[in-house]
A and B are shown apart, each in its own frame.
Chain A
Amino acid sequence: MKRNRSARTLPPTENDDWLQPKYRGEFTVRDFNAFNTMKKGFDFSQAVAEADRCLLCHDAPCSKGCPADTKPGEFIRKLQLKNITGAIRTIKTNNILGGACGVLCPTERLCEEACSAMLKSKEMPQGQDRAIRIGEIQRFLVEYSWERGYQVLKKPEQNRGKVAVVGSGPGGLSCAAELAQAGYLVTIFEARPEPGGVIRYGVAPFRFDENFLKKELADIEALGVEFVCNHRIEGEKGAEKLLENGFGAVFIAPGLWKAGELKPGQAPIEGLLSSVDYLESLRDGRLEQTAATFEGKTVAVIGGGAVAMDCADTAARIGAKDVYVVYRRSYLQMPAEEEELQSALETGIHFLLLNQPLDYLTTADNKISGMKIVRTRLGETDDSGRRTPVEIAGSEWNLDVDIVIEAIGNQAEPESPNWYPGVKTDGKHLIQADPETGETTVKGIFAGGDIVRGPSLVVNAVRDGKVAAQAIQQYLNQ
């Protein structure tokens, strides 16, 4: 067919269809395949084009911005110069969860924050361009290594002693991989049936999927790390006893798995879920069962963080009719990343900002029927640097809901200090460890990740694992 080479028509001005869902983050409700799959990342040409935008700075502010020291300045230069295996080696040597971090990191406030490619100058302080999409490039390189079968890390002979790691989340995995590469035989004890911790059981699968996680875990297994799942380290001195059972050192990184409650000690109500249990039910084989209970229901999610957004976003996708995020401060104070907030908005989540839930309303047969809420206004700035919510007297109202998910912030399990009584913990049951080494008050026991920091980023847990691995080697060499 002949092309019309001189066609010059103006674009149509009628049939304005910008309100169509396709412009608004369209998704298909109860499409479990899509629900369980991440969006495709860069392909080779896209990654090369993006890497070519990199200015290869003298001082690589991106590398300075990575808590785990993944060295983006180095791996992007390597990609630009077609040293692709070397680029992958840089990532995986410095960050065994380079793939997960590439996907999950809030890069715009880490490696990308000071990116020179934004072209900020005295003349143009706002910049003229966008940062290099470092996370996307990192993800591409790691996926490319799987696609091409590049094994950039080698398993050394492991004869330098045994180390136990409690918890197979990002912190535990990072510490284990580091020690395995240094020649230690590492065993990871995981309470749940599958390894991964928060990046398996605490995140929406369309943000980080099973398939990707399995490949990243395989890289760690290939280093000789042993996984013992369904094995909860608990009970009186459970963790400390590992030192007596042939392990030279222990790294504790179990994460935070107790969901905060609106009313601590609340008796169970049908339809009242914790974010921890709810998100886990999407990943442990109960997805369709959970979806069935949500279908056509009105759901409220309490909280404004990343977990709350994941809960709301997933609830809408598995079939809830309406999903409300109920948050006591306003939009700018929400702890979730901008990308997560946008995703929730595009999914059609209703944001009830400046609304403080007070209590639950139940039916005669103990089912949730609604929430008692009071309106708030923003007051003075608090210790977190955010303005505090102040309740407006007399503004109470009731919201009819069928299901409530509490996503108020994850906490340490209250009984956890009993597993390591010699280890000093604080009032929130968080372990007090040296931030530079992970050392605790018990010789040979180190800790890191959320159990030390409180809720934090995957990349920070990776960093803690690396730091502790160094300290553990020093300790074992003494």
Chain B
Amino acid sequence: MKSSNQVDLSIDFCGVTFKNPFLLSSSPVSNSAEMVEAAYEAGWAGVAFKTLNSDRIPIIHPSPRMNSYHYGHKKLVGLQNVEQISDRPLKDNLVDFLYLKKKYPDRVLISSIMGFSNAEWEYLAKVSEDNGADMLELNFSCPHMCVEGTGHHVGKAFDLIEKFTSTVKNAVSIPVLAKMTPNITDMTEPALYAKRGGADGIAAINTVSGISEVGLNDLVPKPNVFGIGAISGTSGPAIKPIGLRFIAEMAQCEELNLPLSGMGGIETWIDALEYLLLGAGTIQVTTGIIHYGYRIVEDMIEGLSDFMVEKGIKSVSELVGKANVNLKTTDHFELDRQGITQYNLDACIGCGQCVIICDDAAGQALEWDEKERRPRLIEDKCLSCMICSFVCPVDGLITFKEMPKDWNRRETRTMDQSLEKKLNFMPYKDINVL
């Protein structure tokens, strides 16, 4: 791996050393040693192998398995899948474990497992450890399991999380991660159950339950499996905000205080860094690879290295959770400080999108000079929502500036003040006094 900045990106996570924080998550991209080997060669530090199957029941994948959620011409802003656990015989997967550990002893092999009973969880944990797994990831979150007590049903039945985690912990000595479903309101609660069961860390998030598209001619939600659609797992950039939120909440939970492996919509070093800054110690990727291939890790490594050199950061561990001190609830905002947008009209190209959306979705704070094809800001009407800057095609043309303390924003106008005398209304606070 050639990089402009040779930076040590290694990190200790649950007592295991990773040469960088970038892992494949348990999914089709980690289905076999052949694939994982190619990923290792590209630079990935480890893998959460595709969830093992104990051969108790045959695994048959629905066909087709996935659907792309497009935004305009941009493909795969989201991905929906009805993937199952590994459909390979357990023996083959374990032979692949041995191969990977023999050839790549410095890479971390995490065995993802899912059982239906205590005995099955214990069995899968043991065979994983006995065949070279460095770590386990308990899949409490696969969104495609219909049987109670499996997959995401475990992740929503907190006592089962504790029970199965404890079973596994008693059976093996390698570290154990519990992988959580985001399809709940608060992830810290099930994470605490996992901790009580002995989990060494938490992995999150699994896919968000969703529907990406409905066929307009056949009326079948997609992927259309011979006339039937299903609510199933959505992943990719569209769900990154949800993943970041769950990671940050767990990182801020002092009672939990466990290492976190973050995932959900990561494609670039910036996405990865955001997960690190909000508390993830390692990050995992699938959909980014489904979109671009294993090669994206090269850009993650190079981008993160350059960032660390620029900021004088020596170790990835210094970054972990660093942004959480600035993450507070909305009641902490200083509302007596206000600002507005400012426009560098020398860079303006005159498209006027800012005017349209300020009129229709904000404070009507922009006038349009038809002849010059330029916006003109009425400062005391600007709401500082910043939406104009989101649609502006020129970088840095519209920026935020703080206004002096004595500056006031104009009230939103009423259309016909004369109607005030016809008001049927008493202020709420007056009613309260009565």
- A52→B351 contact, CB < 8 A: no
Contacts of B42 in A (CB 8 A): 5
Residue of B nearest to A3 (CB): B38
Binds A, one of B157-165, B263-271, B341-349, B421-429: B341-349
Interface positions of A from 50 to 99, Cβ below 8 Å from B: 51-52, 55-59, 61, 80
A-B contact count, CB below 8 Å? 63
Q: Let me know if A478 is at the binding interface, CB within 8 A.
A: no
Tell me the smallest distance from the CB of B403 to a CB of chain A, in Å. 26
- B346→A58 contact, CB < 8 A: no
Binary flags per residue of B340-381, CB closer than 8 Å to A gives 1, else 0 = 000001111111110110000000000010100100000000
- B347→A52 contact, CB < 8 A: no
- B356→A5 contact, CB < 8 A: no
A64 to B394, CA, bound (A): 23
- B345→A56 contact, CB < 8 A: no
- B73→A58 contact, CB < 8 A: no
Binary flags per residue of A109-127, CB closer than 8 Å to B gives 1, else 0 = 0000000111111111000
- B348→A59 contact, CB < 8 A: no
Q: Let me know if B72 is at the binding interface, CB within 8 A.
A: yes
- A59→B370 contact, CB < 8 A: yes
- A121→B353 contact, CB < 8 A: no
Residue of A nearest to B41 (CB): A5
Instruction: Evaluate whether A122 and B353 lie within 8 angstroms (CB atoms) in the complex, with A48-B72, A55-B393 already known.
Output: no
- The one of B38, B72, B347, B373 in contact with A123, judged by C-beta atoms closer than 8 angstroms, is B347
- A57→B353 contact, CB < 8 A: yes
Binary flags per residue of B375-411, CB closer than 8 Å to A gives 1, else 0 = 0000000000000000001100000000000000000
- The one of B73, B348, B356 in contact with A121, judged by C-beta atoms closer than 8 angstroms, is B348
Instruction: Evaluate whether A58 and B347 lie within 8 angstroms (CB atoms) in the complex, with A5-B38, A52-B72, A52-B73 already known.
Output: no
- A123→B368 contact, CB < 8 A: no
Contacts of B41 in A (CB 8 A): 5-6
- A48→B346 contact, CB < 8 A: no
- A57→B72 contact, CB < 8 A: no
Residues of chain B at interface, number, CB under 8 A: 24
A5 to B294, CA, bound (A): 10
- B347→A122 contact, CB < 8 A: yes
- B345→A116 contact, CB < 8 A: no
Q: Let me know if A45 is at the binding interface, CB within 8 A.
A: yes
- B352→A59 contact, CB < 8 A: yes
- A55→B351 contact, CB < 8 A: yes
A120 to B346, CA, bound (A): 10
- A116→B350 contact, CB < 8 A: yes
Consensus secondary structure, chain B interface: loop
Q: Let me know if A49 is at the binding interface, CB within 8 A.
A: yes
- The one of A52, A119, A124 in contact with B393, judged by C-beta atoms closer than 8 angstroms, is A119
Contacts of A3 in B (CB 8 A): 38
Tell me the smallest distance from the CB of B139 to a CB of chain A, in Å. 29
Tell me the smallest distance from the CB of B361 to a CB of chain A, in Å. 14
- The one of A49, A57, A118, A122 in contact with B346, judged by C-beta atoms closer than 8 angstroms, is A122
Contacts of B294 in A (CB 8 A): 5
- B349→A58 contact, CB < 8 A: no
Tell me the smallest distance from the CB of A451 to a CB of chain B, in Å. 36
A78 to B351, CA, bound (A): 17
- A58→B368 contact, CB < 8 A: yes
- The one of A45, A59, A116, A123 in contact with B73, judged by C-beta atoms closer than 8 angstroms, is A45
Contacts of B38 in A (CB 8 A): 3, 5
Instruction: Evaluate whether A121 and B351 lie within 8 angstroms (CB atoms) in the complex, with A48-B72, A49-B73, A80-B72 already known.
Output: no
Interface core residue of B294, B345, B349 (most chain A CB under 10 Å): B349
- B72→A121 contact, CB < 8 A: no
A334 to B191, CA, bound (A): 76
Residue of A nearest to B354 (CB): A58
- The one of A52, A57, A124 in contact with B352, judged by C-beta atoms closer than 8 angstroms, is A57
Tell me the smallest distance from the CB of B397 to a CB of chain A, in Å. 9
A124 to B351, CA, bound (A): 15
- A58→B394 contact, CB < 8 A: no
- B394→A121 contact, CB < 8 A: yes
Instruction: Evaluate whether A123 and B352 lie within 8 angstroms (CB atoms) in the complex, with A5-B41, A48-B73, A59-B370 already known.
Output: no
Binary flags per residue of B98-127, CB closer than 8 Å to A gives 1, else 0 = 000000000000000000000000000000
Contacts of B394 in A (CB 8 A): 119, 121
A55 to B72, CA, bound (A): 13
- The one of A6, A59, A80, A121 in contact with B349, judged by C-beta atoms closer than 8 angstroms, is A121
A118 to B394, CA, bound (A): 11
Contacts of A123 in B (CB 8 A): 346-347
Residue of A nearest to B72 (CB): A52
Tell me the smallest distance from the CB of A134 to a CB of chain B, in Å. 15
- The one of A51, A59, A116, A121 in contact with B347, judged by C-beta atoms closer than 8 angstroms, is A121
CB-defined A-B contacts under 8 Å, sample of 10: A52-B72, A57-B350, A57-B352, A58-B352, A116-B350, A120-B349, A121-B394, A122-B347, A123-B346, A123-B347
Going nearest first, the 10 A-B pairs with the smallest beta carbon separation are A58-B352, A49-B73, A55-B351, A116-B351, A52-B72, A122-B346, A57-B351, A48-B73, A52-B73, A123-B346
Taking A57-B353, A121-B394 as given, write out 11 further A-B residue pairs in contact, using a Cβ cutoff of 8 Å, ordered by the A residue number.
Answer: A5-B295, A58-B352, A58-B356, A59-B368, A116-B350, A117-B393, A119-B394, A121-B347, A121-B349, A122-B345, A124-B347
List residues of chain B with CB under 8 Å of any chain A CB.
38, 41-42, 72-74, 294-295, 345-353, 355-356, 368, 370, 373, 393-394
